[in-house]
């Protein structure tokens, strides 16, 4: 029986106003991948921060190799062999990969005190190889995509010779291909004897990669199971305490084209993109990073306007050169990074919701805050936004609730076409389903939705049609019925020249 | 990652050009007179100073212009706009590099400027210190009374104005010259008028928008205040406003310094009893004349064929130009013609 | 909208309490202003214990008159700061406006025409600031720093360093007249502070300033005309600085190009004391006004107590840091920082 590497015993932690963890148990064995799941606010990140030494528990103890260790700070934890990769990457884009890997430690120095760069890069190379990555460690981090950066973070942790690796939502910003690569690396590390803690929202991934799963809810350890002995539905049920619905495709709608795009181009990221979206339809857009998927959204909303091509909304031909043009045309946009682009974190919920429709609550130039409150309350209720009040500052809400607030402002504005980019990234399971249901409802009520996403189940579940972007072009169009993960991935990942729709 | 695209760059450039042109044209239309000429290789006499933007230097600049025309030479006035000795020393070094025929310097700080003055003299450029001396240096002459003396003169006038006894406040700001004037006030009063008490020193920041309330606070703190001694023109105006607004015109006597235009009005109507004006025009005019004489071996310079070889100073060591008290009786003479 | 919002019925998993009218963000603002008010009162009580001259009519009146230009400028600075910007040119614009008004009057313009033209010149300066910052994308610190030196430079060139005096008698009304025992400019200040505070809190145009300062990119993506909003804030700031310059010139009956050097930093400190954040999105006019009052009382007290002029700077700095420090401490404990 392999001995437990890292254990959290009866850990409790409180913050002003909330008890984040209540006598939580958790353990990691060497050579296993142990997933931790739970809704937002369940305590996953708090637990991880305690294991990483960043926070200290109010009660309970952390044990390493069976002995109680006071993890006073993250250095102590690192020294023991606990490596951590947080959700917010801590890389410095301007420095090279090698420099980043050694960022928090003084690298090898010669007698004169100069840095031995050759050794730095050699060790970086070793760490990267452990993960199966063959990238040149002298390249600047800024040249890497999100997936590769994630790997560099892990390499950083590995280079400190850790025996336990804590990963907080490592796949949230990765494409399916990058996720595969990550999992391969994780399996390799597991086989080398590391204990890997994997915190995630995505149940599907848990069943792909984990050996055991611990479910947290409201700060308690609800259950721990061997993966072989439990089903996804059971896990979800344990997480939320209830059964959730599934995402469904809106019914086929009227055939009035609401958004018609022809020859949209912005070389080199977009080339000759054409598609048409009817009222009440959800058009999914799939694609790897830099395939043009995100760029379609930015072009149609006037953030990075297209240089050529035509756009017609409700039959009217338009020039979209700025977000204001897009708004006037009846287009809305839910950006992928809600914290920096979609929300006013220091302002209350109600101000965030009414921002796109200030004219509605203004009379003779004066803002009617009472009216704003009522409107906001309506959406809070409708979307089940967990917030103490509509005057709560948005920055303090969980990711899922923040996204609901961000979505509310578009519901209020009621655009004809709503572009949503990555609507459920970093959102817990409960909120995710709610958002899916909301998108369905909006479409059923007649809104046209352009759903840009890397989440294949989400795309397949919700879209009437899916277009797949590859290299800035539309590689293929699939109807909801004929689409499958394999088909989408083939179109997305294949070399454009090799694609033959007949083969797909 | 979203880059919000910048559009219409050419228009932005146009705006920049428009703004620049606007400001330059305003300056051109409104006041071409004060654009001083840079030191040219021709015979030039340079006045290096600090806190150069206050109205105090108007007379010096006028004298420079007039004597330059009279003698057919170029003159210029330069130095930092703040009381920054390091900046003045740097300006002095730059002037030395342009090889003027003579340098006048008002030293913001004695020690900071000694090396520069010596460098100038060693390079063959004679230096005259103005209204503040650097005795440790190789300067030829100290011209004018120093600030401490000016303060003393002010104190004499103030003591006379309040009848030799009572409480007074001295107003100043944080710059070496005026602080010396303040010390002059205090020193003279302490030594010669035991019945006069300097209850506090007020810092008016040399800011006309702040000075009145600084003096008003001093007046409020001392209901039986007899007089206010100012160390420059702005303190005079500030004290005058404060006294008027407190309804104490005539009850509190004010003595100020320099000859700021707006302060003269208060002398004319009696709010300010007197101001100590230095003979700035004379000092500058004399200084240039002396430097010119040295350069051309003319006038007083005729004494010796080669004074450098003789290792003597042909010029006076110290020229005490005294002060001019401005009172109601003579204030009309002190208005600048514009 | 007569009915008050009701408390939502308890539904599993979705508790929502709605506070009527005052949300917690507004409460937060009020808290900062209340704190500042309390500290100001405490300071005043302390000073009145140390010297009997603080609470005298003469002293209070002198402080009130003295703070008029600073308070007027603080109104504009609060607005600029809320929008995420910074205006370092206000002191220079104040000085320039005083001299411009004076010169125009000397050249024969009627008082009202001179004032009108001065305000227009202020608006143009604000427009220049705004355009340089939004179209040419120069950092506000640098842009307004440049304008600060340009404006003062123009003032000196135009006056050759002289103060502009000999102004028409009627102009003295604002700064030297008497309405209810105080010069009319006190009422001008009060009107601007009240109007400015209400506008910033309640009007749609000013609400957009909060959004722009809170998150500029999100504001752009929500359809707010970010550039227009920013330019407006700089124009307001400059026009108010021009008003301050006119009031000051009226009080002194001369246009002084040396006025207000360093004023901008004091005004920014006052606004930050009053709750404005240097990154934008927070602050209020009332807070900036209270901050100005606080700093005026502080400066006044040091003169009354005859604190050595060499120590005054140190003392003000320490008090400022303490007050802001207390506020940050309170915020961190509440979990908002």
State how far residue C34 is from chain B, nearest Cα, in angstroms. Answer: 27
Domain of C119, CATH number, reads 1.10.3470
Q: Tell me which residue range forms the domain holding C285.
A: 32-46+53-334
The winner for highest mean pLDDT among A39-48, A410-419, C43-52, C192-201 is: C192-201
Chain B residues closer than 8 Å to A321 by CB: 7
Interface test with A, best of B1, B3, B5 (most A CBs within 10 A): B5
Q: Place A2 in a pLDDT band, splitting at 50, 70 and 90.
A: low
Domains and their CATH numbers in chain B:
44-144+280-321 (3.40.50.2300), 147-278 (3.40.50.2300)
Query: C-alpha B336: how far from its chain's center?
Result: 16
Q: What fold does the segment set A6-240 form as a domain?
A: Rossmann fold (3.40.50)
Residue A204 has pLDDT above 90, yes or no: no
Check residue B32 and give its pLDDT.
Answer: 44
Write the DSSP symbol of residue C203.
Answer: B
Question: Stretch A180-201: mean pLDDT, rounded?
Answer: 87
pLDDT at site B49: 92
The Cα angle at residue B53 between residues B244 and B338, in degrees rounded to 5: 75
Tokens standing for A457? 């189940």
ipTM for the predicted complex comes to 0.82
Chain C contact partners (≥3 CB pairs within 8 A): A, B
Domain count of the fold of chain C: 1
Q: What is the DSSP string of A77-134?
A: HHHHTEEEE-SS----TTSBHHHHHTTTS---B-TTS-B-HHHHHHHHHHHHHHTT--
Residues 228-287 of chain B whose Cβ lies under 8 A from any Cβ of chain C: 234, 237, 241-242, 245-246, 260-262, 265
- Cα C60 off chain centre by: 20
**Minimal CA separation from A484 to chain C, in Å:** 33
Do the chains contact at B7 and A321, CB–CB below 8 Å? yes
Query: Which residues 316-345 in chain A show a CB within 8 A of chain C?
Result: 323-324, 327, 333, 335, 340-345
Task: Give the model's confidence band at A454: pLDDT under 50 very low, under 70 low, under 90 confident, else very high.
Answer: confident
Per-residue tokens: A280: 């009440």
**Amino acid C285: pLDDT:** 96
Res A323 pLDDT > 60:
yes
Q: How confident is the model at residue C11 (pLDDT cuts 50, 70, 90)?
A: very low
pLDDT tens by residue, B260-280: 888 899 999 999 999 999 999
Higher pLDDT, C228 or A123: C228
For residue C172, being part of any structural domain is answered with yes
Closest residue on chain A to C29 (Cα)? A347
Locus of tokens 């240097």: C278
B27 contacts on C by Cβ (under 8 Å) = 153-154, 157
Q: C230-243 pLDDT, tens per residue?
A: 999 999 999 999 99
Q: How far, in Å, CA of C219 to CA of C216, rounded?
A: 5
What does the pLDDT read at residue B63? 94
Alpha-carbon torsion, ordered A454, A456, A460, A465, to 10 deg: 40
Instruction: Write the pLDDT tens digit of every residue in A262-297.
Output: 888 888 888 889 999 988 889 999 988 778 888 899
Dist CA A483 CA A460 (whole Å): 7
Residue C104, pLDDT > 70, answer yes
The model's confidence at residue C3, banded by pLDDT at 50, 70 and 90, is very low
Percent of chain C residues topping a pLDDT of 70: 88
| Model confidence at B101: pLDDT above 80 | yes
Find the CB nearest C248 among B22, B23, B209: B209
- B5 and A303 within 8 Å at the Cβ level: the answer is yes
User: What pLDDT shows up at residue C18?
Assistant: 40
Q: Does B12 touch chain C (CB under 8 A)?
A: yes
Give the span between the Cα atoms of B326 and B265, in whole angstroms.
Answer: 12
Q: Which residues of A touch B3 (CB under 8 A)?
A: 304
pTM score, whole prediction: 0.77
Q: Report helix angle C111-134 to C140-159, nearest 10.
A: 150
Architecture field, domain A257-498: 3-Layer(aba) Sandwich (3.40)
Query: Does residue A371 belong to the interface with chain C, where contact is any CB pair within 8 Å?
Result: yes
* Per-residue model confidence (pLDDT) at position B4: 38
| pLDDT over 90, % of chain A | 15
Task: Calculate mean pLDDT across residues B209-214.
Answer: 92
> What does pLDDT average to over chain B?
86
In a domain, C305, yes or no: yes
Bridge partners of B129, per DSSP, are: B105, B142
- Which tens digit of pLDDT belongs to each residue from B143-155? 988 889 999 999 9
For residue B105, give both structure tokens. Answer: 């310097």
Convert the pLDDT of each residue in B233-252 to its tens digit: 889 999 999 999 999 988 99
Residue B31 has pLDDT above 50, yes or no: no
A83 pLDDT band (50/70/90 cuts)? confident
Per residue in A366-423, pLDDT (tens digit) is 999 899 999 999 988 888 888 888 888 888 888 788 899 999 999 888 899 999 998 9
Q: Would you give the DSSP letter of residue A341? A: I
Looking at chain B, the whole-number percentage of residues with pLDDT higher than 70 is 91
Q: Please report which confidence band the pLDDT of residue C95 belongs to, taking 50, 70 and 90 as the band edges.
A: very high
**How many CB atoms within 10 Å of residue A232?**
11
Q: Which of B118, B132, B119 is nearest to B51 (CA)?
A: B132
């Amino acid at each position: 029986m392999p001995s437990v590497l890292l254990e959290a015993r009866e850990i409790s932690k409180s913050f002003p106003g909330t008890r984040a963890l209540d006598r939580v148990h958790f353990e990691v064995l060497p050579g296993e991948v142990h997933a931790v799941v739970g809704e937002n606010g369940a305590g996953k990140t708090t637990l991880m921060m305690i294991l990483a030494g960043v926070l200290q528990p109010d009660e309970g103890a952390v044990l390493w190799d069976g002995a109680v260790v006071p993890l006073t700070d993250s250095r102590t934890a690192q020294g023991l062999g606990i490596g951590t990769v947080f959700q917010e990457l801590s890389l410095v884009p301007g420095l090279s990969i090698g420099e980043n890997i050694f960022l928090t430690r003084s690298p090898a120095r010669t007698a004169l005190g100069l840095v031995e760069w050759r050794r730095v890069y050699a060790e970086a190379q070793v760490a990267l190889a452990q993960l199966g990555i063959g990238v040149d460690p002298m390249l600047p981090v800024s040249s890497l995509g999100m997936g590769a950066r994630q790997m560099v973070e892990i390499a950083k942790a590995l280079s400190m010779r850790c025996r336990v690796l804590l990963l907080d939502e490592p796949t949230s910003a990765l494409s399916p291909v990058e996720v595969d690569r990550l999992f391969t690396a994780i399996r390799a590390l597991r086989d080398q004897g590391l204990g890997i803690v994997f915190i995630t929202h995505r149940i599907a991934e848990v069943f792909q990669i984990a050996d055991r799963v611990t479910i947290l809810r409201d700060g308690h350890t609800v259950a721990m199971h061997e993966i072989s002995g439990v089903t996804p539905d059971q896990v979800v049920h344990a997480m939320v305490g209830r059964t959730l619905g599934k995402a469904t495709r809106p019914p086929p709608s009227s055939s009035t084209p609401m958004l018609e795009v022809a020859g949209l181009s912005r070389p080199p990221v977009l080339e000759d993109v054409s598609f048409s979206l009817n009222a009440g339809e959800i058009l999914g857009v799939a694609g790897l990073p830099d395939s043009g998927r995100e760029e379609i959204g930015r072009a149609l909303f006037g953030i990075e306007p297209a240089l050529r091509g035509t756009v017609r909304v409700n039959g009217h031909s338009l020039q979209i050169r700025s977000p204001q043009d897009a708004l006037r045309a009846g287009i809305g946009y839910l950006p992928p990074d809600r914290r920096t682009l979609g929300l006013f974190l220091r302002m209350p919920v109600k101000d965030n919701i009414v921002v796109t429709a200030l004219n509605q609550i203004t009379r003779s130039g004066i803002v009617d805050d009472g009216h704003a409150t009522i409107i906001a309350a309506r959406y809070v209720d409708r979307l089940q936004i967990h917030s103490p009040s509509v005057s709560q500052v948005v920055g303090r809400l969980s990711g899922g609730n923040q996204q609901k607030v961000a979505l509310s402002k578009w519901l209020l504005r009621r655009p004809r076409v709503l572009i949503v980019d990555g609507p459920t990234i970093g959102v817990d399971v409960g909120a995710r389903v709610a958002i899916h249901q909301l998108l369905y409802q909006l479409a059923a009520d007649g809104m046209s939705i352009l759903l840009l996403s890397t989440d294949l189940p989400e795309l397949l579940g919700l879209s009437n049609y899916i277009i797949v972007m590859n290299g800035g072009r539309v590689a293929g169009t699939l109807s909801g019925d004929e689409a499958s993960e394999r088909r989408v991935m083939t179109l997305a990942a294949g070399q454009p020249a090799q694609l033959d729709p007949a083969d797909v | 990652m979203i880059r919000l695209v910048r559009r219409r760059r050419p228009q932005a450039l146009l705006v920049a050009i428009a703004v620049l042109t606007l400001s330059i044209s305003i300056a051109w239309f409104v006041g071409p007179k004060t654009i001083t000429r840079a030191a040219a290789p021709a015979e030039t006499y340079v006045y290096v100073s600090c806190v150069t933007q206050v109205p105090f230097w108007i007379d010096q600049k006028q004298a420079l212009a007039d004597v330059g025309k009279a003698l057919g030479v170029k003159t210029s006035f330069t130095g930092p706009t703040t009381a920054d000795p390091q900046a003045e020393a740097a300006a002095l070094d730059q002037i030395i590099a342009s090889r003027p025929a003579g340098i006048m310097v008002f030293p913001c700080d004695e020690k900071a400027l000694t090396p520069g003055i010596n460098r100038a003299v060693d390079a063959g450029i004679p230096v005259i210190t103005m209204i503040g001396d650097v005795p440790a240096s190789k300067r030829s002459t100290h011209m004018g009374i120093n600030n401490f003396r000016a303060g003393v003169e002010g104190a004499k006038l103030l003591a006379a104005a309040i009848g030799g006894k009572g409480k007074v406040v001295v107003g100043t700001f944080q710059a070496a010259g005026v602080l010396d004037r303040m010390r002059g006030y205090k020193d003279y009063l302490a030594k010669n008028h035991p019945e006069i008490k300097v209850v506090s020193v007020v810092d008016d920041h040399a800011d006309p928008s702040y000075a009145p309330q600084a003096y008003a606070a001093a007046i409020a703190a001392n209901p039986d205040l007899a007089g206010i001694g100012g160390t420059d023109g702005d303190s005079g105006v500030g004290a005058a406003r404060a006294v008027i607004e407190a309804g104490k015109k005539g009850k509190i006597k004010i003595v100020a310094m320099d000859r700021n235009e707006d302060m003269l009005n208060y002398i004319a109507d009696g709010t300010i009893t007197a101001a100590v004006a230095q003979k700035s025009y004379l000092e500058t005019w004399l200084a240039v004349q002396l430097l010119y004489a040295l350069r051309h071996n003319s006038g007083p310079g005729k004494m010796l064929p080669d004074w450098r070889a003789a290792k003597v100073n042909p010029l006076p060591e110290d020229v005490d130009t005294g002060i001019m008290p401005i009172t109601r009786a003579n204030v009309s003479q002190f208005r600048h013609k514009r | 909208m007569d009915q008050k919002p009701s408390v939502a019925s308890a539904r599993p998993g979705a508790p929502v309490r709605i506070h009527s009218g005052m949300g917690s963000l507004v409460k937060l603002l009020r808290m900062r202003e209340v704190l500042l008010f309390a500290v100001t009162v405490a300071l005043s009580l302390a000073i009145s214990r140390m010297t009997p001259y603080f609470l005298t009519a003469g002293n209070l009146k002198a402080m009130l008159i003295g703070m008029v230009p600073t308070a007027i400028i603080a109104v504009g600075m609060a607005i600029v700061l809320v929008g995420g910007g910074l205006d370092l040119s206000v002191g220079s614009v104040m000085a320039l406006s005083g001299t411009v008004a004076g010169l125009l009057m000397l050249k024969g313009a009627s008082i009202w025409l001179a004032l009108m033209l001065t305000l227009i010149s202020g608006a143009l300066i604000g427009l220049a600031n705004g355009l340089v910052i939004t179209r040419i994308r120069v950092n506000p610190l640098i842009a307004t720093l440049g304008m600060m030196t340009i404006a003062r430079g123009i003032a000196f060139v135009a006056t050759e360093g002289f103060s502009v005096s000999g102004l028409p008698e009627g102009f003295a009304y604002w700064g030297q007249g008497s309405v209810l025992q105080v010069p009319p400019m006190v009422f001008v200040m009060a009107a601007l502070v009240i109007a400015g505070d209400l506008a910033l809190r309640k009007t749609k145009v000013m609400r957009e300033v909060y959004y722009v300062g809170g998150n500029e990119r999100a504001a752009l993506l929500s359809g707010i005309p970010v550039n227009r909003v920013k330019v407006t804030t700089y124009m307001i700031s400059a026009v108010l600085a021009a008003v301050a310059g006119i009031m000051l010139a009226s009080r002194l009956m001369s246009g002084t190009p040396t006025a207000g050097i360093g004023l901008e930093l004091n005004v920014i400190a006052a606004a930050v004391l009053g709750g404005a954040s240097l990154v934008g999105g927070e602050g209020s006019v009332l807070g900036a006004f209270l901050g100005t009052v606080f700093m005026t009382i502080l400066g006044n007290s040091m003169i009354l107590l005859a604190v050595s002029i060499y120590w005054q700077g140190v003392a003000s700095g320490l008090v400022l840091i303490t007050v802001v420090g207390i506020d940050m401490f309170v915020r961190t404990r509440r979990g908002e920082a």
